[in-house]
Amino acid sequence: MQAWHFTEMPYPHLPPLETLKTMRVSLASKHYDPKIGADLYNRYLDEYMIADELGLNMLLNEHHQTATCIDVAAPLSAAVLARQTSKGRICILGNPVANRGDPIRIAEEMAMIDCISRGRLDVGFVRGVPYEIFAANTNPTQTVERLWEGIDLVTKAWTTTEGPFNFEGRFTHRRAVNLWPRPYQTPHPAVWITGSSDLDNIKRAAGRGFVFATFLQPHAKVKWMFDGYRSAFMDTGLPGGGGTAYMPLVFTADSDAEAEAGARELTWYLDAKSEPQYRNPPGYVPVEFNVQALKGAFAGRTEAMRKQSIEFLKDQGVLIYGKPDDVAKQIHRLYDLVGGFDNLLMMGQAGHMSHERTVRSMKLFAKEVYPQVRDLARTKPLNAKVAAE
């Protein structure tokens, strides 16, 4: 099992939350102090460099118009780390190709980072959470189609080495695509896809040999998704060989009291406030889901986890915390409950959690937990092609 350090790079120094209507999309930037922001950017990048020294991999993402995440351009932070770290893998999870609207630019950026890092890059693609629709003004009824058309174009651009090709798709038209540089890795870096409910999408990722990742979901649902992935996996020869990834909040401490204190700080992320119109833009989820929403029975993915006790979150495998042996035990339990998984994406910093506390937890994990989980077997995806033969 591979372990990854992750922070959304939050900007938590806000007025009292009860005085704000939202932390996302429409929070005025007068609440952002550039000097504090400068400190935060450098601090979060320092933490990734420490993660690298500790033998952890580095996971980055991006969001827009939100205090929950000031990494608004993951390729920039990945480029910094490609140059400033030397060992760990770097994964952007992911490039919001549906919202960025320029797949070729993404292909170029990823190829360049892959070269600078000498092949340490994994490239995720995401459809983007509902809030992101508004910052990009993407039509919310077409994000899945935009995602896959973008991936098709990026992978074709990476792997076409004999000169220009033509692409006239539904959303992008380019008549002379000819990528320089091409990626360091062959045929191209591992591709990761995220998902939270759409099984067809998960199987589509599996069928292309991509890694499938999901975040902060109850373990029963994670198993359902991972089983779906494993049932449809095809090895297409990509570096890393596909696999599954799960992101819980993770905090490791010397004492139970300190562990609980850290765990409570991490749940800041789950309590991020937003206004209702940003949570479920029209057409973002299928009509069947919106029928339930109209009845008041569906309010979005993270809503289900809001305001739950840390004990509940721990039982669900969404929040892992404790002394090193306890943390290792919880990871083993989660591994068994979901039928195994290959990448532990640790949201190890959130909200107001200090640099010292974050690094202490990372160090304890790297030294005392990782050796207990590193050798958990790679899951054995059913190779659908072999099974068919």
Reported residue count of the chain is: 389
Taking the least distance from each CB to another protein, the nearer of 34 and 276 is: 276
What does the alpha-carbon distance between residue 105 and residue 109 come to, in Å, rounded to a whole number? 6
Q: Residue 200 interacts with another protein (CB under 8 A)?
A: no
Note whether 173 binds another protein by CB under 8 A.
Answer: no
Residues 151-170 that bind another protein (CB under 8 A): 170
Phi, psi angle pair for 109, to nearest 5°: -60, -45
For residue 47, the minimal CB distance to another protein (Å) is 34
Exposed/middle/buried for residue 171 (C-beta within 10 Å: 0-12, 13-18, 19+): middle
What is the rounded distance in angstroms from the CA atom of residue 177 to the CA atom of residue 36?
Answer: 41
Work out whether 28 is an interface residue with another protein (CB under 8 A): no
The reply on whether position 308 binds another protein by CB under 8 A is: no
Locus of tokens 């320089």: 180
Check binding of 150 to another protein (CB under 8 A).
no
Q: Which of 96, 103, 130, 140 binds another protein (CB under 8 A)?
A: 140
Among 15, 16, 237, 296, binds another protein (CB under 8 A): 296
- Contact predicate 213/93, CB 8 Å: yes
Give me the residue label for tokens 């005025």: 28
Site for another protein in 270-289 (CB under 8 A): 275-278, 281-283, 287-288
Burial (CB < 10 A; 0-12, 13-18, 19+), residue 194, is buried
Give CA–CA dist 374/332, Å, rounded: 11
Residue 169 or 187 having the CB closest to another protein: 169
Q: Give 251 or 278: the residue with its C-beta nearer to another protein.
A: 278
Q: Is residue 303 close enough to count as binding another protein by CB under 8 A?
A: no
Distance in Å, CB of 225 to another protein, minimum: 24
295 binds another protein (CB under 8 A): yes
Local structure of residue 66 (DSSP, 8 states): B
Q: Would you count residue 291 as binding another protein (CB under 8 A)?
A: yes
